[in-house]
Amino acid sequence: MTQKNGFLPVLFLTAVVFVSVVALIATDAITREPIAAARRAAIYRRLQSLFPTMDDFAYDEESGLYTPFSEGDPLGLAFMAYTRGFGGTIAILVGLAADRTLRGIEIVSHRETPGLGARIAEPAFRDLFIGIEIDDIALSRDGGAIDGITAATISVEAVVEGVREAVSARLKHFE
């Protein structure tokens, strides 16, 4: 490498940045479609575990509501609920059937402790939400339908609270 002064270094750096931008725009053009498809597929999988008969879904950006369809008929609604757990935000996908019962929940992301709070993501806990009435979204000690998990009280309370608040906020869409 030789020591040169003047504009050459600046020009060289500009050229490198230019090549970099071109390379990235090309990569973006190749990957844009697959990335969008991969994101949609991930949402599709999660919705399908709540609505097994689903074959298509629509998303309304303004209200944040997902509407799953089976052969063109809407099956209910799904939406995200965010709540603060033990280690950070817990993101939950909530499924609501047309008859105002829950179709279940999916834990999309969480930072709870493995083996303790993280058990909220296991089917044994998630399945407790399937088929219950909206009014029953509470811990069993408060007269609801959800049994807690030992040593995971904060995480469990956060999920129950988050789901209940999100559901009651969305109820108006059913009227």
Partner 1 sequence: MSNLIAIFFSMALINNLVLVNFLGLCPFFGVSKKLSSAFSMGVAVLLVMLVASAVTWPIFHMLLEPHGMEFMRTVIFILVIASLVQIIEMTIKRTNLTLYNALGIYLPLITTNCAILGVAFINIDKTYGFLESLVAALGAGAGFTLVLIIMSGIRERLDLADTPQAFMGTPISLIVATLLGLAFLGFGGMI
Partner 2 sequence: MRSLKKNFSRGIVRANPIFILLLGLCPALAVSTSLDNAVGMTGAFTFVLLAANIIVSLLREQIPDRVRIPVFIVIIATLVTIVDLMLQGFVPVLSESLGMFIPLIVVNCIILARAEAFASKNGMIDSIADAVGIGVGFGLAMLSISLVRQLFGTGSLDLFGRHLFTIPPLADNPVVFFLLPMGAFFVVGILLALFRWMGVSRSE
Q: Which of 73, 99, 114, 141 binds partner 2 (CB under 8 A)?
A: 114
> How far is 145 from 165, CA to CA, in rounded Å?
16
Q: Which of 113, 130, 138, 161 binds partner 1 (CB under 8 A)?
A: 113
Taking CB under 8 A as the rule, does residue 124 contact partner 2? no
Taking CB under 8 A as the rule, does residue 129 contact partner 1? no
Burial 65-100 (b: 16+ CB within 10 A, else e): bbbbeeeeeebbbbbebebebbeeebebbbbbbeee
Taking CB under 8 A as the rule, does residue 24 contact partner 1? yes
- Length of the chain in residues, anyone? 175
Closest CA relative to residue 95, chosen from 112, 118, 74:
74
* Residue 4 interface partner, choices partner 2, partner 1, none, CB cut-off 5-8 Å depending on type: partner 2
Q: Which single residue is written with the structure tokens 């939406």?
A: 79
Q: Which of 80, 113, 132, 134 binds partner 2 (CB under 8 A)?
A: 113
* Residue 1 interface partner, choices partner 2, partner 1, none, CB cut-off 5-8 Å depending on type: partner 2
The contact set with partner 1 (CB under 8 A) reads 20-21, 24, 27-28, 84-89, 111, 113, 154
